[in-house]
């Protein structure tokens, strides 16, 4: 089960991000380590619960800590019922689905643009929808099954993809010049802006505050 999920998510991310250069593969390796750590605890050895039991012992109040269902850190620590744990998992799954949709929209626009600068559709609201989608997917994973290792690795993963996005922006700016600079001034990198009107001017975007 661990191997299946690692291969599944790995293939999914490779398919959407399409790493080509060495530094892109290195950054993808950080994500691979993240999902390996996540699924190893989810379906294998519950290291997080083991560590917490070693520190807090019986104070945690878990009758059978090594059952799969008791490996859910949030639900177990806060004494949540099975229904609450289910809701938490569904919330995580919903956030992951939103991330998947965003990544899909961004991927489709980029790969149908045929080398042109994309400033419409989802790219009119955020410059890096694929990384935003990856952020939401990883957040959904943490909500579904938070572990000590993945909580430590998550900021490292986000920083790695932030650096990658800035590097990609420099490369795109070298290709499109002023057109991309104008686009970058008007559209945020990761947090979409929905509360302004937009109109197209010479292939770029201009915003008018409501």
Report helix, strand or coil for 201.
strand
pLDDT at 40: 64
Alpha carbon 176 to chain centroid distance? 27
pLDDT at 205: 45
DSSP secondary structure string, 42-101?
A: HHS--HHHHHHHHHHGGGG--SSTTSSGGG-HHHHHTT--HHHHHHHHHHHHHHHHHHHH
pLDDT at 144: 79
**Domain range 2-193, its CATH number among 1.10.3470, 3.30.420, 1.20.120, 3.40.50:** 1.20.120
Report helix, strand or coil for 66.
coil
Give the chain's residues under pLDDT 70.
1-32, 34-81, 194-210
Distance CA 70, CA 51 (A): 14
pLDDT at 142: 84
Distance CA 40, CA 55 (A): 21
Cα within 13 Å of Cα(20), Cβ side: 2
Q: Nearest 5°: CA angle at 190, between 206 and 94?
A: 120
pLDDT tens track for 84-106: 777 887 888 899 899 989 988 88
Helix axes 22-43, 47-56, angle to 10 degrees: 60
Write the CB contacts of 130 (distance below 8 Å, at least 6 apart in sequence).
16, 17, 102, 103, 106, 107, 110
Please report the beta strands in the chain, taking only residues with DSSP state E, as ranges in sequence order.
196-201, 204-209
pLDDT tens track for 33-68: 766 666 666 555 555 555 555 655 554 445 455 555
pLDDT at 23: 58
Q: What integer best gives the mean pLDDT of the chain?
A: 73
The predicted model scores a pTM of 0.69
Nearest in space to 165 (alpha carbons), one of 202, 129, 205: 129
Q: Which residue has the tokens 């559709």?
A: 121
């Amino acid at each position: 089960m661990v191997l299946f999920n690692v291969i599944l998510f790995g293939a999914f991310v490779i398919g959407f991000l399409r790493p080509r250069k060495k530094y892109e593969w290195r950054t993808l390796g950080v994500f691979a380590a993240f999902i390996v750590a996540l699924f190893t605890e989810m379906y294998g050895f519950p290291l997080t619960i083991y560590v917490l039991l070693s520190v807090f012992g019986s104070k945690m109040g878990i009758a059978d800590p090594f059952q799969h269902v008791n490996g859910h850190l949030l639900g177990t620590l806060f004494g949540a019922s099975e229904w609450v744990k289910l809701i938490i998992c569904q919330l995580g799954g919903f956030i992951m689905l939103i991330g998947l949709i965003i990544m899909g929209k961004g991927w489709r626009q980029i790969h149908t643009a045929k080398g042109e600068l994309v400033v419409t559709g989802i790219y009119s609201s955020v410059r890096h929808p694929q990384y935003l989608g990856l952020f939401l997917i990883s957040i959904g994973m943490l909500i579904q099954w938070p572990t000590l290792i993945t909580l430590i690795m998550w900021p490292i993963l986000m920083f790695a993809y932030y650096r990658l996005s800035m590097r990609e922006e420099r490369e795109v700016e070298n290709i499109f010049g002023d057109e991309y600079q104008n686009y970058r001034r008007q559209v945020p990198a990761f947090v979409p802006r929905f509360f302004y009107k937009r109109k197209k001017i010479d292939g770029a975007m201009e915003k008018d505050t409501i």
